[in-house]
Structure 1
Amino acid sequence: MADAHVEVRDLCVTVRGPDGAPLRIVDDISFDVARGQMLALIGESGSGKTTIALSLMGHGRGGAAISGDIRVGDATLDGVGARSLAAQRGHRITYVAQSAAAAFNPSRRVIDQVIEPALIHRTASPATARQRAVELFRALALPNPETIGSRYPHELSGGQLQRLMAAMALITKPDLVIFDEPTTALDVTTQVEVLQAFRRVVREQGATGVYVSHDLAVVAQMADHILVLNRGRVREQNDVRTILEAPTDDYTKTLMAAAHPVVAVAAPAARAPEPLLAIHGIFAGYGPVDKAGRPANPVLSDVSLTIGRGAAVGVIGESGSGKSTVARVVAGLLAPTAGQVTLDGEALAQTVSGRTREQLRRVQIVFQNADVALNPAHNVGDILGRVLRFYHGVSGAEAGRRVAQLLDLIRLPAGVADRRCGELSGGQKQRVNLARALAAEPDVILCDEVTSALDTVVRGAILDLLADLRRELGLAYLFISHDIATVKALCDDIVVLYKGTRVESGRCESYSTAPFHPYTDLLISSVPEMRTDWLADESFRNSAPFAGMNEQPALCRFLPRCPVAISGRCDTIAPPLQSMAAGNIILCHRTEEELAR
């Protein structure tokens, strides 16, 4: 391509395989990206997306050998001095990683970290860099752009950190920006804001982009062209509209099909299973606690739900809604300030230290990030064997046999037992994360965003696995997610949380057609659709939020954002619980007829 800003020809990346022989994980990749265009690299975990993206910076993971021809502007893979790709990192070529929380130093203020690349590469003076950073904060739609930089990373939300990491990547006015799954772990409403900000700023700067993702709906909003990868090889590449509307490769069609999960894959016929686990009137938070057990800074406010034996209850909401806090309270990792958790009608101690080993065994938790949850120094057999020893007193050959059974249960080969987690794909690590919980032989598993960072095919496989285990073992799930489609694919009942308050609950089928609570409606309408003009279509967000008084916790917590709030009612009286015809219960002043209009 004559006007290509990025040219890649015959790219190969080789590592040492399990048997010590060379293993080619990226094989014969070629593509061009025109200046100012965005290329998306899509595929399952292990397809080579990130490996290819890092190669554009002249970087290979430990022990990897890169061969082929790569040119970004005037810089090449084998260039000398400033003309090498490695010399362009952090300056002309920048990178936005998936985990913003891991990218920031918790002990330093955000502004100092955002401007650091500009100071290191001497593209601006400290004063100019700070001014440039504030301009980027404003362009990225961050709140209080003049002062947000003075805060520490732990004081900011995931969506804010993701945009701040983009500001860090854009501060040097780079030619090429690599986005590596930058919205994967964000809730749907935050993702919309971040995608809009990314697209606007990249276009304003005229930068070239490479966007790594497994989400075709997200890619449809960001990319001009798509390159589909599978096991390190190109399966198809074309403009975004052609890929979405008329894919030719069977693997691409598989990805398209996986982007539309089947609803209720494993909902049992029983409508009212025997109660197993319940939480009653839970309050949790931090700060001083009043006589009623309500903290000064609440995270959960009077939350209740029940999980039947062998049932699955989904909890959805944005970041900060209190979803994970529910799981932590149930697991005994956080003591509630008021309320109670019961298992088979027996009250559980507030924290792990007060619970019996049998109670701990019966309630297991699977965390979102398997990389953090699994010890990288131990192999899979050791990780699973430790659980078997602790709960069942099993060791030696018997433990090895049980480990093999667990791996078979999660659809992994027995040889994985000898591998460390760093040698596994994201989907494989999440399966091991699940196997560790299964090793205890629990009655209920708390699944905290266990599929949010997985590609669509692997996510579907994990959901199928969870459904199969539920049928085979009679497991119950508390399934936490920000994605209502994922929850509907597994759960019987759904609870919607907003800022720690339950605003809607009901059977899964009651969420198929409106009316919903206005917040539930926002969550559903914020799920990207697989069409290229979806992000530009403001029709699903065209109502202005309530312009009256500021939020008061005693009233509706959604009031400041509600597009259908009633002045004189919603801002003066706490909302009532109402039952809709479909069976869902909402916390709202609006009647079913009013919400249906």
Structure 2
Amino acid sequence: MRDTLLKIRDLRIEGQQGDDWQPIIKGVDLDLRKGEVLGLIGESGAGKSTLGLAAMGYSRGGTRISGGSVTFDGMDLLALGERQRRALRGKRIAYVAQSAAANFNPAHRLIDQYSEAPTRIHHMMGRTQAEQEARELYAALRLPNPDEIGFRYPHQVSGGQLQRAMTAMAMSCKPDLIIFDEPTTALDVTTQIEVLSAIRGAVEEVGTAAIYITHDLAVVAQMADRIKILLRGEEVEEQDTRAMLAAPKEDYSKSLWAVRSFTSDEKPLAPATETPVMRVSGVTAEYERGVPVLDGVSFDIHAGHTVAVVGESGSGKSTTARVITGLLPAVKGSIELDGQRLPDRLASRSKDQLRQVQMIYQSADTALNPRQTIREIIGRPIRFYLGLRGRAQEDKIRELLTAIELDPDSFIDRVPSELSGGQKQRIGIARALAAEPRFIICDEVTSALDQLVAEGILRLLKRLQDERGLAYMFITHDLATVKAIADHVVVMQKGQVVEQGPKSQMFAPPHHPYTQLLLSSVPEMDPDWLDRTIEDRKRG
């Protein structure tokens, strides 16, 4: 039996609501042995991240640890001074956050931020050694060009690459415990396999214990020795992974394992004579002169239709969105809205052209201004695009809150920190709708949400589309989401469209080899799936 590294007893955490404190974690126990991985699952608001942070002796602003104990390697973290706790964080206990973009300093290169903990903060090694170990970890985590990628800034790499760079940064001091908070949420399925394998390998090699927080049951099945299920701050049950997968005991646990069933019927193809709302025609784009990141990309999106654009990290999905919105001018090709060519550059577009093309972002945490109320966040585009003020503006805000199924009286004066992840994403949808657009780009809008909340967002988007005749471009790496909401699927690889067609056609064999790779990379609720898949690919 391995020694216990972390012991939590009767932990109680409260969150502030106005002048009152409400319970978030309600007397939870947790044991973690050295070298063991504990999977922590539950729906949004269950308290998973709050419990994970408490394992570091930390509570976020607006929360407080009100009772219980957290013992790490024999030390009572709650009894230590803040300076002593800080000395442990990063060195012996590390944290990999869900949102990489919010946790990197945009002004510093990746390798500088990697090196800070082992050199300047904890004085464990010199800069040369830290850089060499960074390159080795970048290679282990399957980052492209590992010798050079560290010299880029955060905005110069994809979201999936940034997530892997943050995982490397957490491992820089070879900690005894790592809390992984949804570390593969931002990754496409092909990259996710490699990163899950690399994380598991690194954890086993170093003998690190881990708490793996996720809402993806198939992922936790590959990573965890044991699974603990939380609901509204209380433990539902805990079992070894194989036992939990085979026979969950509690009704709530069984409901998590049930297959979700939301799907939308595929709409018939639009007539060839119908002008699409959005036409991407032969688009080639570059970040560096002479090095195309998009090469001849073409597809149409019609009113009331959803086109899902899928592909691995770096395939060109988000770059295509940047060209459509005018943030990255095309070198060749054109973007047409309702048959009219849009100026290549954002600054050259009219206010009405800007109004017609809106975007809902992947990370609501970074997309919403934390200092503005919901009234201000939704009200600004109403004022800018529609020219409404005063009572007319207020009525429109309330109408939009009702449309996204949030009570106006309850939500209009809140700030984003007072909302759950799903509620924040609904506000992002309302902000996009405030301009009364014809076309909306949905950029990984459900990837950070648990299964139940994500399904609610998809149902909402579908209803709004049907009511308003909206055209959606749905950027996603989640093929379950594609099956649920798409009418047409565009598969991208290395900046090119390798295959496209109606959803029913794309999910029926025969497949393009790359599409087959994507489909075979979707994790299954089988603890042996990851090992089996990696072994199959080694054999070719």
After TM superposition, the structure 1 = structure 2 runs for residues 11-26 of structure 1, keeping only pairs within 5 Å, are 11-18=11-18, 20-26=19-25
Is the aligned partner of 1:463 residue 2:464? no
Where 1:401 maps in the other structure, the secondary structure is helix
Q: Distance in 2 between matches of 1:497 and 1:215?
A: 24
C-alpha spacing 1:318/1:142, structure 2 compared with 1 (3 Å)? closer
Aligned residue number for residue 177 of structure 2: 176
Q: Using CA pairs below 8 Å that are at least 6 residues apart, which structure has the higher relative contact order?
A: 2
Superimposed CA distance per residue, residues 485-506 of structure 1 (whole angstroms, 9 cap, x where no aligned partner): 2112111110111111110001
Aligned mates of 1:143, 1:343 — CA distance in 2: 35
**Deviation readout 1:140-166 (Å, 9 max, x if unpaired):** 455565665555545545444433333
Where does residue 64 of structure 2 map in the other structure? 65
Aligned equivalents of 2:335 and 2:142: distance in 1?
40
Shift of 1:480: 1.0
- Residues 316-367 of structure 1, C-alpha deviations (whole Å, 9 max, x = no match): 1112111112222222332212222222222222233333333332222212
Alignment: residue pair count: 535
**Distance in 1, Cα, partners of 2:355 & 2:537:** 49
- State whether structure 2 residue 501 is matched by structure 1 residue 500: no
* Distance change (3 Å), C-alpha of 1:136 and 1:512: closer
Task: Determine helix, strand or coil for the equivalent of 2:523.
Answer: coil
Alignment of 1:72-471 (within 5 A): 72-80=72-80, 85-119=85-119, 120-126=121-127, 129-130=130-131, 132-142=133-143, 149-150=150-151, 152-257=153-258, 260=260, 262=262, 264-268=263-267, 272=271, 274=274, 275-288=276-289, 296-414=290-408, 415-471=410-466
Counterpart-to-counterpart distance in 2, 1:329 and 1:133: 33
Identity %: 50
* Closer/same/farther in 2, CA of residues 193 and 277 from structure 1, 3 Å limit: same
Distance apart, 1:525 and its partner CA:
1.0
| 367-376 vs 187-196, which moves further | 367-376
- Aligned counterparts of 1:189 and 1:40: Cα–Cα separation in 2: 22
**Is this contact kept in 1: 2:270–2:302, CA < 8 A?**
no
Question: Any idea what the Cα deviations from partners look like across 1:387-438, whole Å, max 9, x if unmatched?
Answer: 2222222222232222122111111121211111122111111110011111
Q: What secondary structure sits across from 1:538 in the alignment?
A: helix
Whichever residue aligns with residue 46 of structure 1, its letter is G
When normalised by structure 2's length, the TM-score is 0.92
Displacement after TM superposition at 1:313 (Å): 0.9
Q: 1:45 offset after TM fit, Å?
A: 2.2
2:365 alignment partner, SS class? helix
Query: How much has 1:454 moved relative to structure 2?
Result: 1.5
Write out per-residue CA displacement over residues 77-105 of structure 1, whole angstroms, 9 at most, x where no aligned residue.
33346996554212211112223344334
Q: Which moved more, 1:201-210 or 1:470-479?
A: 470-479
The structure that has the greater radius of gyration is: 1
Q: Any unmatched runs of 5+ in structure 2? A: none
Q: 1:355 to 1:124 in 2, by over 3 A?
A: closer
Contact 1:38–1:211, Cα closer than 8 Å, also in 2: yes
Match of 1:522? 517
> How has the CA–CA distance of structure 1 residues 416 and 524 changed in structure 2, closer, same or farther, with 3 Å as cutoff?
same
Aligned to 1:44: 43
Closer, same or farther: CA 505–143 of 1 in aligned 2, 3 Å: closer
Q: Structure 2: which amino acid aligns with 1:215?
A: D
Question: What CA distance in whole angstroms lies between the structure 2 residues aligned with 1:127 and 1:395?
Answer: 58
State the distance in 2 between where 1:147 and 1:107 align: 18
Moved beyond 6 Å, runs of 4+: none
3-state secondary structure, aligned to 2:485: coil
CA distance in 1, matches of 2:356, 2:135: 50
Partners of 1:160 and 1:361 in 2: CA distance: 31
Alignment partners' CA distance in 2, 1:60 and 1:224: 26
SS at match of 1:115: helix
Per the alignment, residue 554 of structure 1 pairs with none
Question: 2:395 & 2:430 partners in 1: Cα distance?
Answer: 14
* Cα displacement string for residues 166-212 of structure 1 (whole angstroms, at most 9, x for unaligned residues): 33322323221111111101111111111111001101111111111
- Cα 1:506–1:43 change in 2 (3 A) is same
Please give the secondary structure, in 1, of the residue aligned with 2:277. strand
**Kept after mapping to 2: 8 A contact 1:315/1:494:** yes
Q: Tell me which residue corresponds to 1:569.
A: none
1:511-549 deviation line (CA, Å, top 9, x unaligned): 2222111111111111111111111013685267xxxxx
Q: Deviations over 1:244-267 (max 9, x none)?
A: 222233332332236x554x4243
Q: Distance in 2 between matches of 1:125 and 1:309?
A: 58
Cα separation, 2, equivalents of 1:459 and 1:505? 25
Q: 1:126 Cα deviation (Å)?
A: 4.7
Contact 1:39 1:223 in 2 (8 A): yes
Measure the CA separation in 2 of the matches of 1:11 and 1:466: 38
Counterpart position of 1:484 = 479
Contact 1:76 1:85 in 2 (8 A): no
Task: Tell me if the contact between 2:99 and 2:363 (Cα under 8 Å) persists in the aligned partners.
Answer: no
Which range moves more in the overlay, 5-14 or 230-239?
Answer: 230-239
Are 1:537 and 2:538 an aligned pair?
no
Tell me the amino acid that sits aligned with residue 360 of structure 2.
V
Q: Is the 8 A contact 1:281 1:304 kept in 2?
A: yes
* Aligned-pair CA distance for 1:508: 0.2
Residue of structure 2 in register with 1:548 after alignment: none
Distance in 1 between residues matched to 2:491 and 2:2, nearest whole Å: 52
Equivalent position amino acid for 1:116 in 2: E
Instruction: Note closer, same or farther for the CA distance 1:140–1:384 as it changes in structure 2 (3 Å cut).
Output: closer
Provide the C-alpha distance between the structure 1 equivalents of 2:432 and 2:338, rounded to a whole number of angstroms.
20
Change over 3 Å in CA distance of 1:391–1:43 after alignment to 2: same
What displacement does 1:239 show? Answer: 1.5
Cα distance change on mapping 1:476 and 1:110 into 2, 3 Å: closer
Farther off after superposition, 469-478 or 501-510 = 469-478
